[in-house]
Amino acid sequence: MQKIYTAQTLLAVTHIKNLLESGNINAELRNEYAAGAIGDLSFVDAWPELWVNYEDVMRAKEIVKDFQDPSNTPEWQCSCGEENGAAFGSCWSCKIDKPT
């Protein structure tokens, strides 16, 4: 396994974990409760971490990159002809889900 993401807050790491799992990538959350060890550990060493299997590292890094810089994600056109921003999971006009 390889660490692909770490952040100060559990909320941020859990959000990335959910994004990975929605992309069918299993992610393991580590250091979930390590904040209590700050003082014995460096605060950075106690941050929550996400680890994925080696075969999923490249896809997982792309998902994290797209989350951190949404300008890299292109807009998409719905079958109804409406242009939708990259952040939309379904068409704002007809409500059809974004194609995968």
User: So what's the pLDDT on residue 75?
Assistant: 85
Residue pair 49/87 in contact by the 8 Å Cβ criterion: no
3-state DSSP call for residue 70? helix
DSSP assignment of 5-62: EE-SSHHHHHHHHHHHHHTT--EEEE-TTGGGGBTTB-TGGGS-EEEE-GGGHHHHHH
User: So what's the pLDDT on residue 13?
Assistant: 94
pLDDT digits over 72-91, tens only?
667 889 999 999 887 788 89
User: So what's the pLDDT on residue 87?
Assistant: 72
Angle at 11 between CA 5 and CA 14, to 5 degrees: 55
User: So what's the pLDDT on residue 100?
Assistant: 72
- Assign domain 2-68 to a CATH class: alpha beta
Spatial separation of the C-alpha atoms in residues 11 and 30, rounded to whole Å: 13
User: So what's the pLDDT on residue 42?
Assistant: 66
Residue pair 82/69 in contact by the 8 Å Cβ criterion: no
User: So what's the pLDDT on residue 46?
Assistant: 75
pLDDT digits over 21-74, tens only?
988 999 999 988 766 556 666 666 778 999 999 999 999 999 898 888 866 667
